[in-house]
Structure 1
Amino acid sequence: MSRKFWSLCLAAILSPCTALATDETEQGLATLWEVLWHQSGTPTRIVRWENDIRMRMTGVELPRHRDYVLKALRDVTAETGVRLIDVTDQPGEFANLTVEITPDTALEDNQPCVTYLDFRSEAKVDTATIQMRSKDAWRCAYHEAMHLMGVRGHPAGKTVLSYFPWKVDSLMPLDRVMLRAWYSPRMKGGMTPFEALPILADELIATAPDKAAASQMRDRFFATTVEQMQAYAAGRGDIPAIVKRSGKATEEGIRHGRSEMSYFLGVAFFEGATVRPDQKQALTWFERAASAGNRRAQSYLAGPGR
């Protein structure tokens, strides 16, 4: 009787902890999904650096900001394994990243910092430019450093990427999860959201105290997300709420996103990425994307050599 009593007491104590961990996993998965969306309302592919980053810092008040900005860049590259080289004091050296500290009157009040990634195809970053106002460098450095590595979204969760941040002056655990997954050997430039999501999720589950419960939550999250994205691509659903809340989604971005999502669903069902393989479903989504003008879907339907 005593053993049973204490077992019940222990279960009562542990249940809230398990529920909290499950909630954190669900929130983490939502954040990892949201980070795969551009603020315009379009889902994105994986882009990342495949070579060293050679950085040159320019602009105003460099002595004031250089060490802090450089620390942010080194923190993100340390998680990814990408080599960062500072060539600021070597004017003759090639740089593929320019970090400009601008006067406080530059840029816009609602966007005091910005990162531009240049790539020939949506897979590999060739060059990049970061701009940030001098007075905002303290809150922009880590946010833009994440964007620099190809992580382009603005999710709602506990990450320096959020427009409603929990923390701005160092990486948070979810940021590290994203970066490690983004640059893991399994991840490839050009991957669609449904190809990337399982890799991101596995990195998150590796940090969970109860991996079995986290894996079950992942499976439920995948099923719900695919269902929601089918509705979105078909014109019945919507983009993630945080993308709308951020206030920068456009009608054109959302419309283009439906076409892209149709193609991404085709890839998901064709390859069995995030969802079980289903060739009939894959064909349906490829056809929908092609009819909306998606060239990749049209190329797929045309067959090899066309």
Structure 2
Amino acid sequence: MSRMSRTLLLLAALLSSPLAATAGDDVEQGLATLWEVLWHQSGTPTRVVRWENEIRVRFSGLGVAAHREHSLGALRAVTQEAGVKLVDVTDHAPQTANLSVEFTSDSALDDNQPCATSLDFRTETRIDSATVQMRGRDAWRCAYHEAMHVMGVRGHPAGKTVLSYFPWKVDALMPLDKVMLRAWYSPAMRGGMTPFEALPVLADELVATQPDKALASQARDRFFATTVEQMQAYANGTGDVPVIVKRSGKSTEEGIRYGRTEMSYFLGVAYQEGVTVRADPNQAIRWYELAASAGNRRAQARLGSFR
């Protein structure tokens, strides 16, 4: 057997080995986590919202001296990864803050939600301001989780991220968190993007971190195909509710109905613009019509472009 033949056989063995399969599985699990951050805990898919200006934070409440530095460190970590300027105006009263972080008493919030972030935006594109509340005794484990939410990443996915309800780490960002932030604030992303528009940007950032980019790209393409198929069934009302919806524990029947309608519209956008799937005007019209029949005004407006 020639040296070239032996080399080709070795490569084939490596590609079909459990190690290669595991690497592909890891990428698909990462992609599943990135997809799930595009879902709100109420069980509805969301659009991308993000800061378009600097963040000016003011800390207040009980035990500011004890919790400020750690919470500020979390905010610095996420803003540095995203490339957003952060200014602490706590000690500068005349300056207006657009981010308020309040440390509350240990009895002020529910035990099942000891910290919470509220994002304010006039349209679902740009964050105008935000408010964070954290119980004093939970500030240490909440800081990085809520800092991610502050940046507009609203989901609670499973996987290796500080956003998980059962996080692997609470005192620093994990690699997937950094991938999310870099993609979320990359030039390729923009406020108001639908999940199918945002997913390729997130996926490309993840693929770029992988040692075997060809294998990662194959995993990405498989994930896209599977996800679109699942979401088509979901939007049609024939598929099962996505796992992220079940796991949130806060979804409602009304939220799921709304989610199906939104997903129909998002699928229409995907097929019209050729994002995550190949462009197909007929499919776009089909999904817009389904969403429009349920009262989705954006779908009704989009249908006008085909006439």
Both structures adopt the same fold (TM-score exceeding 0.5): yes
Cα shift at 1:176: 0.2
CA 1:217 to 1:90, structure 2 compared with 1: closer, same or farther past 3 Å? same
Greater shift in the superposed pair: 4-13 or 213-222: 4-13
**Residue 31 of structure 2 contacts residue 223 of structure 2 at CA under 8 Å; is this kept in 1?**
yes
| Deviation per residue, 1:217-256 (Å, 9 max, x gap) | 1111101111110000010113331331231111111111
Q: Which among 74, 77, 82 is matched to residue 75 of structure 1?
A: 77
Q: Distance in 1 between matches of 2:104 and 2:242?
A: 33
Is the partner of 1:178 in helix, strand or coil? helix
Q: Distance in 1 between matches of 2:74 and 2:93?
A: 22
- 1:174 maps to which residue? 176
- 2:42 maps to which residue? 40
- 2:251 maps to which residue? 249
Q: Distance in 2 between matches of 1:143 and 1:273?
A: 29
- 1:132 maps to which residue? 134
TM-score where L is the length of structure 2? 0.95
TM-score where L is the length of structure 1? 0.95
**Residue 99 of structure 1 contacts residue 130 of structure 1 at CA under 8 Å; is this kept in 2?**
yes
Cα shift at 1:6: 9.2
Q: Which among 218, 223, 226 is matched to residue 224 of structure 1?
A: 226
* Amino acid across the alignment from 2:231: M
Q: Distance in 2 between matches of 1:138 and 1:11?
A: 48
**Residue 55 of structure 1 contacts residue 84 of structure 1 at CA under 8 Å; is this kept in 2?**
yes
Please show how residues 125-274 of structure 1 align to structure 2 within 5 Å.
Answer: 125-274=127-276
- 2:301 maps to which residue? 299
Corresponding position: 1:284 with 2:268: no
Aligned length: 304
Q: Structure 1 unaligned runs (5+)?
A: none
- 2:64 maps to which residue? 62
Is the partner of 1:120 in helix, strand or coil? coil
Q: Which among 92, 101, 104 is matched to residue 102 of structure 1?
A: 104
- Over the matched positions of the two proteins, sequence identity in percent amounts to 73
Q: Structure 2 unaligned runs (5+)?
A: none
**Residue 267 of structure 2 contacts residue 287 of structure 2 at CA under 8 Å; is this kept in 1?**
yes
Q: Distance in 1 between matches of 2:98 and 2:8?
A: 61
**Residue 80 of structure 1 contacts residue 183 of structure 1 at CA under 8 Å; is this kept in 2?**
yes
Corresponding position: 1:21 with 2:30: no
| Deviation per residue, 1:61-94 (Å, 9 max, x gap) | 1111111000000000000110000000011111
Q: Distance in 1 between matches of 2:218 and 2:159?
A: 20
* Amino acid across the alignment from 1:56: R
* Amino acid across the alignment from 1:46: V
- 1:116 maps to which residue? 118
**Residue 21 of structure 1 contacts residue 208 of structure 1 at CA under 8 Å; is this kept in 2?**
no
* Amino acid across the alignment from 1:139: R
Is the partner of 2:171 in helix, strand or coil? coil
**Residue 30 of structure 2 contacts residue 159 of structure 2 at CA under 8 Å; is this kept in 1?**
yes
Q: Distance in 2 between matches of 1:9 and 1:277?
A: 39
Cα shift at 1:303: 4.7
Cα shift at 1:301: 2.4
CA 1:64 to 1:299, structure 2 compared with 1: closer, same or farther past 3 Å? same
Greater shift in the superposed pair: 291-300 or 139-148: 291-300
- Could you say what the CA RMSD is over the residues aligned between the two structures, in angstroms? 1.8
| Deviation per residue, 1:190-222 (Å, 9 max, x gap) | 000000000000000001111001111111110
Is the partner of 2:162 in helix, strand or coil? coil
**Residue 154 of structure 1 contacts residue 243 of structure 1 at CA under 8 Å; is this kept in 2?**
no
CA 1:2 to 1:278, structure 2 compared with 1: closer, same or farther past 3 Å? closer
Q: Distance in 1 between matches of 2:184 and 2:18?
A: 32
* Amino acid across the alignment from 2:188: R
Greater shift in the superposed pair: 215-224 or 48-57: 215-224
Q: Distance in 2 between matches of 1:296 and 1:79?
A: 33
* Amino acid across the alignment from 1:163: Y
